[in-house]
Structure 1
Amino acid sequence: MSRGPVDPRLLQLSGPTRRWTAVLAVVTALRTVALVISGIIVGRTSASVITDGTGLADHRAALGVLALLVVARTALAWVEQRYSHRAAAQATEDLRVRALTVLAHRDPRTVDRAEWRTLLTEGTEGLGPYLTGYLPALMSTALATPAVLLVVWFLDAGSAIVAVVTLPLIPVFMWLVGTLTAGRTEKKLMTLGVLSDQLLDLVTGLPTLRALGRLSAPVAEVRRLSDRHRRSTVEVLRIAFLSSMVLEFLATLSIALVAVGIGFRLLDGSMTLAAGLTVLIIIPEVYNPVRQVGTRFHDARDGIVAVDRILTLLTARSDGDTTAHPGTTGEAGGRVSEERDAQDGQGGQGLTVTFDHLSATGRDGPRPRDVTGTARPGQLTVLTGPNGAGKTTALLALLGIATDGVTGTARVTAGPGTGPRLTGTELWDRTSYLPQRPVLDTADATAVGDTSGLSLGQRQRAAVHAELDRSRTTGRDLLLLDEPTAHLDTPNARTMVEALRRRAAEGATVLIASHDPLVTAAADHHIEVRP
């Protein structure tokens, strides 16, 4: 879990959060000064009017200062609201991009997509309430509460003692509530992740269910998951409501105790009216920040849980996580090499891919198992095998992305198989990789127009076409494609295969993972992949 009210990892890794925290500290300090001075002016002016019989006209200067302070407090509140939402949006985007970048570089077999889909959508939305509500309340508690309490001490030590005794009760109840809600919030996010994942699977399989006449089959399961999510959400809301009521009651009771003490001291003459009114005006600001922390805590709980998971992911990466990623790939034997041992002049040579007894152990055993073969320049080579045999894993191992449980080697060399080995950025600068479900980038989207209405097959054709053009213009002579014809009809698949054959004839090394008979029939060489 997080390491305190404000996780230091968040300040370390998120620039927008650091900047907003600094701005917030200044705003809170200025607002506290304005609040205390306003309370003193109102208290003394009111006491003077009551006891001395003076009119408001006799206090023009004080009222003028008070008006300026009200304007200043309004301006500070506007600054806080305006920049807090901007900082929340920037911080949310920054964390999402960082997390997606790390996840994209990890072995996809180890990534729980349902969980991370929920954390990076529903979960990170809670960062907004955290930065716009919880963090300002926490800053006020750290700065405003001690400052106001110190002023109260100088005005009336008895009231300050009552505040010091009653104030810790609120954090104690906040801790108890936080302990109760922590597990329930994580449970709610987990339930939402399962529900969203199953709903996405359902939407993807609707055509099949409709063809089989089974559209109503998943209704009961969806209803069960929805009820489970509803119950977990209601549990969190119930605790939040009860805790808010308790915090309000404690704060109100504490202020009432201070007011009663002030009343008795005014009666026996041990306290001036000006001091009593001033204390009564500013004493709520001792409790209000702490109370707001408790109230805002529940609004930000989803964000706290999600951000903790994201920060754990990012810090594991920065602390030396050796999960391979573009730029640190190499031999797929569980080791990631950073060295560059390619010799000068290799850019004019073709690239050779060599699998040497490559295996990768997963949940269902070795998939793939003992892959051995070579893909050479000028040839269209196909990794053949049934679904689930491990063809995709073999490509990821070649790129250094899949490393867990990998034995044997998968390497790319310049020239023949005995030539210098390409690693790191040298390899990725000469590689075009297209996964099963490619995402069209900005350039691709400009070429084909609005991509939101494109089918999977249209996206596949557009992505392959863009990648072929990019490989020619940038000199990338190693093309790795994962099931490029999976969503195409026969004529379009044949057209794509011919385009890939032409690219191979130009000297590129084209390696395709596919079980499409049309692709395997057109290949110059086959490498068998067995589960």
Structure 2
Amino acid sequence: MSTKSSAPAKRRAGPVDPRLLRLSPATRRWVIIAGVLTALKTLATVAMGLLIGQMAAGIIEVSGSSLPRMELIALAITVVVRGLLAWAQDRFAQRASSQVTVDLREKTLRHLAQSDPRTIDQALWRTRLTSGLDGLGPYLTGFLPALAATIIATPVMLAVVGWLDVGSMVIAIITLPLIPVFMWLVGTLTAGRTEQRLSDLAILGGQLLDLIAGLPTLRAFRRHQDMAAQVTRLSSQHASSTLSVLKIAFLSSFVLEFLATLSVALVAVGIGFRLLAGDLTLAIGLTVLIIIPEVYAPIREVGTRFHDAQDGLVATDEILKLLSVSSLVDAPTHTPRDVAGGLEVSVEKLRADGRDGPRPADLSFTAKPGQLTVLWGPNGSGKSTALLAVLGLATEGITGEVSVKDASGQEFKDSALWEHCAYLPQRPVIDPESVSDYAELSLGQRQRLALKRELGAQLLLLDEPTAHLDPDNAAIMIQQLQAEARRGTTVLAVSHDPLLRAAADEVVEVK
């Protein structure tokens, strides 16, 4: 049987996860585009500062002078160019965010579909792939551009300030590191609380889905009111964890704004004293005052956007961990060859160890072509696990031998097996694009429709195919399975239905 690696993946250690760049081409393209656009915006900002400083100084120093026409035209062009660059950055950011989110969600679902379902926390992954992954949008549209501006714009602006006034540059160099230090301290505290908030949301969502699924039973026994207190408690817990994250985000934003404002004020005070002493020209002083806020703005923006992106960062870390440690089985590119008859399934001493002991324990059977084989046993005995082991999906705690061969003795595994078999779970999912009224179908109707579309495979694996059907429709499905077996197909089903057991050619007791 094939196994998947479970080695621990290294947790994201920097602002840009190299796993995200490696697994998402759209992210790589966006990082390059953001860098180019940021560099161009930086040049436009520098030009604007120089032009405004020179023009304002000229008007103040020369009484009654008019605005210089050429400088005014150049300033207008610079403003328009910078506006276009900002628009382009926002447009590319939104497009990249949508592409990356869809790409990661699709890859994750494909990996989860090929993973052992017994090890998947459905409530937690449902939250990660919805609200968690949607939080990646602020990270891509806000945090990454701000980070690119910090790497590119801040050094350039600092160099321009140094070229104009060394004293102002020295003050900026001394005060600049204070902002990232406080960002690191606040970010360390926020990450853990964000993970807790997502966990609380997953628990609340799972509880609500379980409550909705079991509501008819609860109403029948008049116990539906008992769940209100549980839902209220989980809602209050989620509200508290969300509020704790918002409190830290508000306080950190206040700290970052205070430090940036204080740093700019120190530079302004220094420029004012040197202007009074005559050690600095008005043109240079005004230009530095216009440019110096742009030295701190990118770092301040990184701190602000960091909190907006935390949900996406936490969810993406778990998603990238899954994509990094598990290998996706790709479908072969060759055309599937015809296989005469069905496939023989041989299981020897299959054992699946779990918290409640082995389920199944030392299961051995052979499902032959042309026969309807039924795995029969109590709930929790491991019948569904046996089907997943045949497919190669159940790997956690699995021992024993499972082989699927054709009449010539050729063995089929993974994607080669999936080409020639069909698996019908207890709750099949129908492609909504091909069924317009998919939402109107009952679970039993979905089972019948799914089986109809899967007929013709060499191996049919069915998990409780008649569980949600009335006796008449169950009899029709059983007749379809018998007819399929008579055509030479191997039919292997898990069931509690006495009708299906009575129609079986071979019944295997699962203990």
Same fold (TM over 0.5): yes
* Identity score, percent: 58
| 3-state SS of paired residue (2:344) | strand
Deviation, 1:528, is: 1.4
Distance between the aligned counterparts of 2:241 and 2:414, measured in 1?
A: 46
Task: Tell me which residue corresponds to 1:334.
Answer: none
| 3-state SS of paired residue (2:491) | strand
Distance between the aligned counterparts of 2:431 and 2:177, measured in 1?
A: 54
Task: Tell me which residue corresponds to 1:355.
Answer: 347
Deviation, 1:326, is: 7.4
Q: Of 521, 525, 528, which residue of structure 1 is paired with 2:502? A: 521
TM-superposition CA deviations, 1:224-266 (whole Å, max 9, x none): 1000001000001001101101111111000000000000111
Task: Tell me which residue corresponds to 2:469.
Answer: 488
| 3-state SS of paired residue (2:192) | helix
Structure 1 residues 436 and 252, CA gap change in structure 2 (3 angstroms): same
Q: Is the 8 A contact 1:480 1:512 kept in 2?
A: yes
Task: Tell me which residue corresponds to 2:373.
Answer: 381
Task: Tell me which residue corresponds to 1:426.
Answer: 416
Distance between the aligned counterparts of 1:238 and 1:220, measured in 2?
A: 27
Deviation, 1:422, is: 2.1
Task: Tell me which residue corresponds to 1:242.
Answer: 251
> Which letter does structure 2 place at the counterpart of 1:420?
Q
Task: Tell me which residue corresponds to 2:450.
Answer: 463
For 1:115-514, list aligned pairs within 5 A: 115-317=124-326, 347-415=339-407, 419-441=409-431, 446=434, 448-468=435-455, 471=456, 476-514=457-495
| 3-state SS of paired residue (1:6) | coil
Distance between the aligned counterparts of 2:350 and 2:20, measured in 1?
A: 40
Deviation, 1:349, is: 4.3
Distance between the aligned counterparts of 2:331 and 2:93, measured in 1?
A: 36
Out of 99-108 and 228-237, give the one that drifted further.
Answer: 99-108
TM-superposition CA deviations, 1:396-418 (whole Å, max 9, x none): 111111112111112111128xx
Q: Is the 8 A contact 1:354 1:411 kept in 2?
A: yes
Unaligned runs of 5+ in 1: 329-343
Distance between the aligned counterparts of 2:55 and 2:337, measured in 1?
A: 86
> Which letter does structure 1 place at the counterpart of 2:21?
L
Distance between the aligned counterparts of 1:11 and 1:326, measured in 2?
A: 21
Task: Tell me which residue corresponds to 2:20.
Answer: 10
Distance between the aligned counterparts of 2:419 and 2:134, measured in 1?
A: 36
Task: Tell me which residue corresponds to 1:339.
Answer: none
Task: Tell me which residue corresponds to 2:5.
Answer: none
Q: Is the 8 A contact 2:344 2:404 kept in 1?
A: yes
Distance between the aligned counterparts of 1:326 and 1:24, measured in 2?
A: 33
Deviation, 1:424, is: 3.6
Deviation, 1:52, is: 2.6
Q: Which 4+ residue blocks in structure 1 deviate beyond 6 angstroms?
A: none
Q: Is the 8 A contact 2:57 2:282 kept in 1?
A: yes
Distance between the aligned counterparts of 2:62 and 2:141, measured in 1?
A: 45
Distance between the aligned counterparts of 1:60 and 1:345, measured in 2?
A: 77
| 3-state SS of paired residue (2:429) | coil
TM-superposition CA deviations, 1:53-80 (whole Å, max 9, x none): 36334x1111101000111111111111
**What number of residue pairs does the alignment pair up?**
499
| 3-state SS of paired residue (1:67) | helix
Deviation, 1:502, is: 0.7
| 3-state SS of paired residue (1:240) | helix
Q: Is the 8 A contact 1:259 1:280 kept in 2?
A: yes
| 3-state SS of paired residue (1:374) | strand
> Which letter does structure 2 place at the counterpart of 1:461?
R
Distance between the aligned counterparts of 1:20 and 1:492, measured in 2?
A: 54
Q: Is the 8 A contact 2:341 2:458 kept in 1?
A: no
| 3-state SS of paired residue (1:218) | helix
Distance between the aligned counterparts of 1:347 and 1:206, measured in 2?
A: 47
Q: Does 1:99 align with 2:143?
A: no
> Which letter does structure 2 place at the counterpart of 1:390?
G
Q: TM-score, structure 1 length as denominator?
A: 0.91
Distance between the aligned counterparts of 2:44 and 2:65, measured in 1?
A: 24
Q: Is the 8 A contact 1:326 1:399 kept in 2?
A: no
RMSD of Structure 2 on Structure 1 (CA): 1.8
Deviation, 1:371, is: 1.0
> Which letter does structure 2 place at the counterpart of 1:38?
M
Distance between the aligned counterparts of 1:152 and 1:309, measured in 2?
A: 42
Distance between the aligned counterparts of 2:80 and 2:445, measured in 1?
A: 59
| 3-state SS of paired residue (1:377) | coil
* Bigger relative contact order (CA 8 A; separation at least 6): 2
Task: Tell me which residue corresponds to 2:87.
Answer: 78
Structure 1 residues 276 and 314, CA gap change in structure 2 (3 angstroms): same
Distance between the aligned counterparts of 1:449 and 1:273, measured in 2?
A: 71
Deviation, 1:17, is: 1.0
